[in-house]
Structure 1
C-alpha cells in the first residue's frame, strides 16, 4: 500500500512538472534578469546541448554550486587521468564561472537541466552518460527516475544530508525509500550522513570523509595578491567571508568597534557577489569608505572595507588576512565550509549555526584551529584578541593546518568505492580510442 502511494505521489510530481513546463521560460527569464541565470545559455536548462558529445565513455558529474564544484575537482581530474570524458553540470552562474577558471578546456560544462520530464529526457538521450555522479544534497525525482529507467548507475559522492532535509524525508519514508533505493552507491561524508542515507533506503553506503580535504587551496593571481598587499602595507586585516544578509552589518559593527584601537582593514566577501551594490550602500550609509574589487578600486589608508564582490577569487581574499570569519552561521543557518580558510593559513571564527558542516567544524575546533562565537559582540572580541595576540593567532593557524592534514584521504576512499563503475570505462576507452567510430 505504502509503495503504491509513493508511486502515485511521484507520478503526480512528474505530471505537475509537465503542466509547469510552459512556465519555465518566464521563470528562467526572471532569474536571468536577477543575474541568477546565464541568459545566453538558458536552453541548456531545458536539456538542449551546446557542445558535441565526444565518442567513448562519458561520466556525468553534477555539482550544484561553488562548494560542491570545488570538492569534486580532484575526483574529476582522476576520472580524466583514467581516460574518461567528464560532463560537468552546475546549477549556478558562480559555479559555472569557477569551472571556466579552473577546468577550462578539460571538461564539458553544461547547466543542469530542470527536473522536468522533457528537459531531463532530452539531456540524457543526447549525452547518454555511462554513469551519473552527484555531489549535491538534493534528490531530484524526475532525474532519478529517468536515469534508473535507462539503467545508468547513480552514485552520490561527498554525500551529506542536513537535519532539515533528513526530517522532511523521514516524514515521507515510502517516497524516500523508493528514490534513495535507486542509487547504486552512496559515498557519505560522515558516520552521521551514512546512517541517515541508510535510514532513507540507500544501499550500499560507504564513508569517505570530506573530499574538500583533498582539494588544492583556491588559486589566485600572485601579482594581484602582491599588489593588494603593497596597498594594505602594515595594516592589520580580518575577513568576513561567505556572508549572508545581516552578517555584513555585523562585520561593519566589528570594524567600527575596533578601528579606534587597531586601524584595521576589513575584508567582506558576500556569498552572493550580485549583492555587492546592496552591501556597499549599507556600508556607505554607516559612514565607511569602501573599495570594491569588481571596480578595481585601490585600497588606501582611508579605506575601511575591501568588498570582495567577484566570483572565484576566494584565494585572493584569504591570502590577504590571517583571521577569517566564515558566514551563514550567525544571522543565517547551515554554515559554510571552513576548510579553505584553514588551508590558506587563517585562524577560523564562526557563528554557532553550522549544521551543514557540523563534523568538519567539530574536528577543526577540537584541534584548536577554529572558535565559535555566540553573537556579533563576541565576534568583535575574538577578532581583537587574535589581532593583538600573535602567539594565539599563529597557534590557531598551525592547528588548522594540522586538522586539514588529518582530514585528507577521502579521495582515495571514494575512488576505491567507484572502481567497479569506472574501471570498465577505462578499459573501454583504451580498447576504443576517442577518435574511433561507434
Structure 2
C-alpha cells in the first residue's frame, strides 16, 4: 500500500472513530425521517438483536432490495450446504422485504455503520467465517477490519457503473489498496471484470448476472383475480420502478392514448414514499387515481392504478403484458428488466440502461425489448403494442427465452465460492450445532 493511500484510509478510519459518539444523534434524526427502524437502531452500531447460531456462518451484505433479492437463491444454496447465513441490509424497506420474502432460517440484521467501534462490536459477536458483498459494496473500515481478522471477503454479482468506475479511477492508489484486499471478485460481465482488475482486484472471474436466477416475483392469486375482474377487458400497460419525472411522462402517455384506447395505466414508483406527490400531480391533470395502499377499487373511470405497496411487483406485472422499466429516461442507469421479461411482458425502456447494459443487449438482440428516447416515442411504442398482439406476444416469448438462455450464473458463482464454502460445509456436518435463535 502506498504511503498516500495509507494516509487517506487512516484518515477515513479516524474520522469514523471521532464521529462515532454522534452516531446516536445521527440515527435518531434518520429515524424521525423514516429512514431508520427506531426499534432496531442499535443494530446499526453493532449490537445484535438475534442469537448467533453455533457452527460456520457466512455474512451476506446487500445494500438494496434488488441486491437482496438477487442473492436470495445464493443464500438458499448456502443453507442447503448446512452453512448459517446472516444477511445485513441498510434500509427499512429491505428489512421489511427480508421478513416477508426470505427463508425463516436466514438471520437478518441491519448493517453496522462503517466506523471501527461499530464494525468491531458486530464482528466480535457474529464471528463470520466468510463475508460476501453484493455488486459494488466497498466499505473501507469494514474491509480493513475483515482483512485484519483474516476473514475473506468476496464480491459476488459484482459490477461497476460507468460513473463509479470513473470516480475510482480518480483515486487509483486508494482504489488499489482497497480492492486488492478482496479475496475474490465474481463479476457480472467481462467488462465489469476488466474494471475490477484495473482497480487492483485479484482474482476476478466472470459468472453472469445472478439476478436471472431469482424466482419470478410472487403474488396473491385471490388478489390478482379481484383486480383482473375490476379491470375487465380494458387494455393495460405499466410504468415500473419509475424515478422522479417519469411519472409525468407516464401521465402524458396516458392522456395521449386515452381517447383512442381507454386504457388503464399502472404506475409503480421506485420510492413509494413519493406516492402522495405523484397522486397530487395526477389529479391536478384531471386523472382519476386508485391507490393500492388504500385498497381503492379500479373502476371504469380509473385512469391510474398507483402501485404504492412493497413486495407486490409480481401483482402489477401480471395485470399487464406491456412494461416500461423506469430510471431510464432520466439518466439514472436503468432498472432491472428481468422481472417483466420472466413474467411474459413486452419490455420498453429509455436509453439510459448502463446498470443493466448486458441484459438489455441480450433482450434487444432477441427482440424482447425496445428502447425509446422520449415520451412521444414511448407513447407510440405503447400504442403499437396494444394494437398488435402478435408482436406483443413474440416479444414476451423472446423475453422468457432470453432469461432462460442467460441462466447459469448461480452455478458458476457457487463453483467459484467452493474454496471458501466447502470447508465450512465439512465443519458444519462434522460438529453439532443449534438452530438460529436457540
Asked whether the two chains share a fold, i.e. TM above 0.5, the reply is: yes
Tell me the distance in 2 between the aligned counterparts of 1:338 and 1:152.
35
* Counterpart in the other structure of 1:105: 104
* Counterpart in the other structure of 1:204: 203
Q: Per-residue CA shift, 1:296-323, capped at 9, x if unaligned?
A: 1111111111111111111111111100
- Is 1:227 the counterpart of 2:226? The answer is yes
* Counterpart in the other structure of 1:21: 20
* Counterpart in the other structure of 2:342: 343
* Counterpart in the other structure of 2:398: 399
Tell me the distance in 2 between the aligned counterparts of 1:167 and 1:104.
38
Determine helix, strand or coil for the equivalent of 2:422: helix
Give yes or no for contact 1:35–1:274 (8 Å, CA) kept in 2: no
Q: Per-residue CA shift, 1:151-176, capped at 9, x if unaligned?
A: 00100100001111111111111111
Give yes or no for contact 1:244–1:332 (8 Å, CA) kept in 2: no
Shift of 1:178: 0.7
Determine helix, strand or coil for the equivalent of 2:2: helix
RMSD: 1.1
Query: Runs of 5+ in structure 2 lacking a partner?
Result: none
Determine helix, strand or coil for the equivalent of 1:234: coil
Q: Per-residue CA shift, 1:349-394, capped at 9, x if unaligned?
A: 1001111111111111111100000011111110011001111111
Q: 1:209 to 1:129 in 2, by over 3 A?
A: same
Query: Runs of 5+ in structure 1 lacking a partner?
Result: none
Give yes or no for contact 1:62–1:136 (8 Å, CA) kept in 2: no
- Is 1:75 the counterpart of 2:54? The answer is no
* Counterpart in the other structure of 1:150: 149
Q: Per-residue CA shift, 1:398-429, capped at 9, x if unaligned?
A: 11111101110000000000001001001000
Tell me the distance in 2 between the aligned counterparts of 1:387 and 1:430.
56
Give yes or no for contact 1:218–1:340 (8 Å, CA) kept in 2: yes
* Counterpart in the other structure of 2:242: 243
Tell me the distance in 2 between the aligned counterparts of 1:242 and 1:263.
23
Determine helix, strand or coil for the equivalent of 2:239: strand
* Counterpart in the other structure of 1:324: 323
* Counterpart in the other structure of 2:47: 48
Question: Which stretch shifts more, 102-111 or 147-156?
Answer: 102-111
TM-score normalised by the chain length of structure 1 = 0.98
Shift of 1:22: 3.0
Tell me the distance in 2 between the aligned counterparts of 1:22 and 1:377.
53
* Counterpart in the other structure of 2:36: 37
The correspondence of residues 121-140 of structure 1 with structure 2, limited to 5 A, is 121-140=120-139
Tell me the distance in 2 between the aligned counterparts of 1:183 and 1:33.
36
* Counterpart in the other structure of 2:363: 364
Q: Per-residue CA shift, 1:208-259, capped at 9, x if unaligned?
A: 0000111110111111111111111111100000001000111111111110
Tell me the distance in 2 between the aligned counterparts of 1:426 and 1:91.
28
Shift of 1:336: 1.0
* Counterpart in the other structure of 1:193: 192
Q: Per-residue CA shift, 1:5-32, capped at 9, x if unaligned?
A: 1000000111111222233333322322
* Counterpart in the other structure of 2:164: 165
* Counterpart in the other structure of 2:284: 285
TM-score normalised by the chain length of structure 2 = 0.98
Give yes or no for contact 1:160–1:188 (8 Å, CA) kept in 2: yes
Question: Which stretch shifts more, 427-436 or 210-219?
Answer: 427-436
* Counterpart in the other structure of 1:91: 90
